[in-house]
Copies of this chain bind each other. A is one copy, B any other.
Amino acid sequence: MSYTPRPEDQRFILNAVLDAPSRLRALAPFTDVDDALQQQVLGEAARFVGEVVTPLNREGDEVGCRFANGAVTTPPGFREAYRAFVDGGWPALAAAPEDGGQGLPTVLEAIVYEWMSAANHGLTMAPGLLHGAYACIKHHGSDALKARYLPQLASGEWLATMCLTEAHAGSDLGQVRTRAVPQADGSLRVAGGKIFISGGEHDLTPNIVHLVLCRLPDAPAGPKGLSLALVPKQLPDGARNAVHCERIEEKMGLHASPTCVMRFDEATGWLIGEPGRGLAAMFVMMNAARLHVALQGIGLLDAAWQKADAYAQERRQMRAPGPAPASRGSEAADLIAEHPAVRRILDTQRAWVEGARTLAYRSALMLDVAAHDADARARERAQRWCAIVTPVLKAACTHQAFHGASECLQVLGGHGYVREWGIEQIVRDARVTMIYEGTNEIQAIDLLLRKVLPDAGAAMSAVLLELRDALDAARETDADVQRRLAQLRYLGTTIAMAAHADPRLPYEVADDYLRLVMLALLAWAWARIDAADATPAERAARTGPAAAFRRWVLPEFEMRHGIVKRACEGIALSHAAGSALQQS
């Protein structure tokens, strides 16, 4: 059973839940993006993914990338599939028309990448970093760099990498040592080693554009001393630059994507943005890249769900308890989909997929609003949403991709543990999404320590109030969600106060806090789905997942809330005890 995109699911969320067509039409570049155009694009994308991308997934895992003499060979069929991807204009879907792009909304690009990741995570890694590099050069590159690199990146003729990590500097980019020395001709000589570079070397495109975090001479220690250099594999005159792939990693999964150890041997490069502002230049692409990873998570979970659902609809084992299900007929054993333990897994993971999609597509819409809305306040609100919600989605969707895919594997029992159905590959592939683009723990710290606490929860409260206002307190479900949103606002204050007494506290509760925000967001999303103008078939398909969400997913909210609250109270108590001691 192979993954197949189901555009009708996206259409329901875009139209009935998010009212995307009318929101997009209100933005200048998208005045003619109507439902028909959306459906046409998604229909073509679904066909491309199903026919070209999906069939290469298993061999991509089994054969993997090969390394020899500094060169990387991608798995069978990958060159042709990537060529078809470029020829179909898919990399340029949301790129600006002035760079040769099609100028379509980000949300359509998001859906295409969700499907691509579900079908073939390894292949999708190749163009996955393109868009961040494009945005980074577009915002921070010199005119010369833009002219030389933007069109080829927009079209996907060339691919790109982000070279951040060094062996001793993983999450701690301030420790980066790669150095870049300015030359008389305005170029840089870049020297150093980088690890974990996805697509650092491959045979898909003739040139690879590396964005390299580095340090200029006399730069201060720490993150403020970092600059960003563009270092191409092929120099403008066609010569090979001194950029070398030393080896590729043997990994748990994602074998179809080469994870490279790179060496820059006095390679030629050019500064992007200002000296010492390398992190700022990289952060431009952060929200888009993290949302991209969240979408990978959603896609992978959906792919696992499709396999588990298909298996559960054909495998018969024992009689299900309770009244005879219609599917029994004259069979001695029932479909395992009728067994409560299996039903629970399927409905719960479906609840995650649909709820997370609603939030991720809304975020993609907000990226367009932030870029194109005529109203500055609307742009600001959209940016605020993206800043706060993106780390939440990155962490929670990738966590669920791995854990939910493992649950789906369980539906297949021993048949899930062997290669046959391809579901164990999803579990292995998905695991890395919890690590790259900032580990999930770093997302939680980003959320609480950088987004929520610095303004004493003001931006977070604004997002929560916005969510509240989109609900209808007369509906029972909505009122419950509103109560949770209010709890979250209050909890922000509690954490801020406790953090004054103990600076470790917010780091200790950051993961719980992120989960709380995600659960509240999911509850909001399911309230919106419940309230949507759905056809009877659309409604019926979501009754089980909606109930599963309330019964089995949402109770984690109270648990996490209690954990955070007790941690804060513990601080308050020990602080009070400390003060009492000082006074006595």
Contact = CB atoms under 8 A, between A and B. Distances in A.
Interface of A: 165, 169-172, 174-175, 195-196, 221, 249-252, 259, 315, 317-318, 320-322, 332-333, 339-342, 344, 402-403, 406, 409-410, 413-419, 424, 427-428, 431-432, 434-436, 439-441, 444-445, 502-504, 506-508, 510-511, 551-552, 555-556, 558-559, 562-563, 566-567
Contact of A428 (B165, B252, B502, B551): B252
A60 B169 CA distance: 32
Given A340-B507, A510-B341, A171 B413 contact: yes
B551 A562 contact: no
B419 A435 contact: no
A417 B170 CA distance: 13
Contacts of A427: 252, 431
Given A341-B507, A562-B558, A333 B175 contact: yes
Nearest to A175: B333
Contact of A511 (B341, B431, B439): B341
Contacts of A165: 414
A504 B562 CA distance: 31
Contacts of A317: 169-172, 175
A249 B418 CA distance: 6
A534 B211 CA distance: 55
A196 B417 CA distance: 10
A558 B556 CA distance: 10
Give 7 closest A-B pairs by Cβ, nearest first: A252-B424, A322-B504, A341-B441, A172-B317, A340-B507, A559-B559, A340-B508
A251 to B, nearest CB: 5
A503 B435 contact: no
Contacts of A195: 414
Nearest to A341: B441
A250 B434 contact: no
A75 to B, nearest CB: 17
Contact of A170 (B414, B441, B566): B414
Nearest to A248: B418
A402 B427 CA distance: 12
A434 B414 contact: no
Given A249-B418, A431-B406, A552-B563, A503 B413 contact: no
A510 B555 CA distance: 17
Contacts of A414: 165, 170, 195-196, 432, 435-436
Contact of A504 (B315, B340, B444): B340
Contact of A251 (B171, B417, B436, B558): B417
Nearest to A556: B559
A220 to B, nearest CB: 13
Contacts of A506: 321
Contacts of A418: 249-252, 259
A195 B196 CA distance: 39
A453 to B, nearest CB: 12
A320 B434 CA distance: 22
Contact of A507 (B339, B428, B502): B339
Given A322-B503, A414-B436, 17 more contacts: A165-B414, A171-B317, A175-B333, A195-B414, A251-B419, A252-B418, A252-B424, A259-B418, A320-B504, A340-B504, A340-B508, A341-B511, A342-B441, A410-B434, A410-B441, A417-B435, A552-B563
Contact of A341 (B196, B410, B415, B444): B444
B321 A503 contact: yes
B406 A402 contact: yes
Contacts of A315: 170
A441 to B, nearest CB: 4
A104 B216 CA distance: 68
A195 B567 CA distance: 50
A172 B507 CA distance: 47
A417 B444 contact: no
B439 A410 contact: yes
A318 B280 CA distance: 19
A458 B522 CA distance: 41
Contacts of A507: 321, 339-341
B555 A562 contact: yes
Contacts of A436: 414
A330 B340 CA distance: 58
Contacts of A503: 321-322
A503 B322 CA distance: 5
Interface centre among A320, A341, A342 (most CB of B within 10 A): A341
Contacts of A510: 340-341
Contacts of A340: 504, 507-508, 510
Nearest to A252: B424
A510 B169 CA distance: 46
Contact of A318 (B174, B249, B409, B563): B174
Nearest to A563: B555
A318 B406 contact: no
